[in-house]
């Protein structure tokens, strides 16, 4: 990996990822860091087209495995054409969702085998893994309430059941427990100022 840092933001809908991404970018820029904000699935023109394919509600069924492969196809475009070059230039990346989201949504939520997800992760981005992952954790009902208040139409994944998001949340927490050195779990049910402080502390530790 290059000289930059890859920071990923994870959590269910309404957890505060987008809000914190904007906040953290401003905080890093105040310290003179070149920051790039991006998201998955997407982040490059072609990867955004795959995002549209994955999230639209069409006639043709999309199996969990097909969904997983599309996510990793988009990810490889994003890594090759945006993330790796930016890291090599010394930029810091704040990425709204990455492979932990595939573990949580496709793995936990849809039951895709860990072995498939982990072999794809190793094949698709052996050299590009997060320096830090912020997991914004909160009760599903609160996340869905915030997401609903934010408006915006639900996509094919966003319209899933509460039980689905409970499985997603559980898997995210399992990933955090398995990799405590990389994943910082932030209690996202706290007032925004407290969430900002916790996230900022974790990110600024990467400066030293
Ligand atoms: N800690 C918080 N307390 C109260 N409201 C919050 C908090 N974090 C985010 N919000 C609000 O909840 C909504 C969803 O936040 P957002 O950042 O869009 O979440 P995500 O990107 O994870 O889906 C937004 O309207 C945001 O202003
Ligand atoms: Mg968001």
Best substitution site from 12, 146, 169 to test ligand 1's pocket, by max atoms within 8 Å of Cβ? 146
Q: Which domain holds residue 60?
A: 5-207
CA dist 35 and 25 (Å) reads 6
Tokens at 147, concatenated: 């997401």
Give, using CA atoms, the residue closest to atom 7 of ligand 1.
192
Q: Domain count of the chain? A: 1
Strand 5-10 and strand 92-96: pairing? Answer: parallel
9 lines ligand 1 (CB under 6 A): no
11 lines ligand 1 (CB under 6 A): yes
CA dist 172 and 176 (Å) reads 6
Give, using CA atoms, the residue closest to atom 27 of ligand 1.
19
Q: Is the peptide bond before 41 cis (omega within 30 degrees of 0)?
A: yes
pLDDT per residue as tens, the chain (208 positions): 448 999 999 999 999 999 999 999 999 999 999 999 999 999 999 999 999 999 998 899 999 999 999 999 999 999 999 999 999 999 999 999 999 999 999 999 999 999 999 999 999 999 999 999 999 999 999 999 999 998 777 888 888 899 999 999 999 999 999 999 999 999 999 999 999 999 999 999 999 7
Q: Domain holding 96: CATH number?
A: 3.40.50.300
Count the alpha carbons within 13 Å of 171 in the hemisphere toward its beta carbon.
Answer: 24
Residue 107 Rama label (left phi>0; alpha psi -120 to 50; beta) = alpha
pTM: 0.96
Q: 134 φ, ψ to 5°?
A: -100, 120
Query: Which letter does DSSP use for residue 182 in this model?
Result: T
Counting from 1 in the atom list of ligand 1, the atom nearest the Cα of 136 is 22
Whole-number pLDDT of residue 1:
46
Tell me how far CA of residue 25 lies from CA of 12, 22, 28, 77, 168, in angstroms.
21, 5, 5, 23, 26
Whole-number pLDDT of residue 154:
81
Span from the CA of 19 to the centroid of ligand 1 (angstroms): 6
Whole-number pLDDT of residue 163:
96
């Amino acid at each position: 990996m290059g000289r930059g840092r890859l920071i990923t933001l994870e959590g269910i809908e309404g957890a505060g990822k987008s809000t914190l991404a904007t906040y953290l970018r401003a905080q890093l820029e105040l310290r003179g860091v070149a920051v790039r904000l991006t998201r998955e699935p997407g982040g490059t023109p072609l990867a955004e087209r795959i995002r549209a394919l994955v999230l639209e509600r069409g006639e043709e069924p999309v199996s969990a495995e097909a969904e997983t492969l599309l996510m990793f196809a988009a990810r490889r475009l994003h890594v090759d054409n945006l993330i790796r070059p930016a890291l090599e230039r010394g930029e810091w990346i704040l990425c709204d969702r990455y492979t932990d989201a595939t573990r949580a949504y496709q793995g936990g939520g849809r039951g895709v085998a860990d072995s498939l997800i982990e072999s794809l992760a190793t094949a698709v981005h052996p050299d590009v893994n997060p320096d830090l992952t912020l997991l914004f954790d909160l009760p599903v009902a609160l996340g869905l309430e915030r997401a609903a208040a934010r408006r915006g139409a639900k996509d094919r994944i966003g319209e899933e059941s509460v039980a689905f998001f409970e499985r997603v949340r559980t898997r995210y927490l399992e990933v955090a427990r398995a990799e405590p050195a990389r994943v910082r779990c932030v209690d996202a049910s706290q007032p925004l100022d407290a969430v900002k402080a916790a996230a900022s502390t974790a990110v600024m530790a990467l400066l030293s």
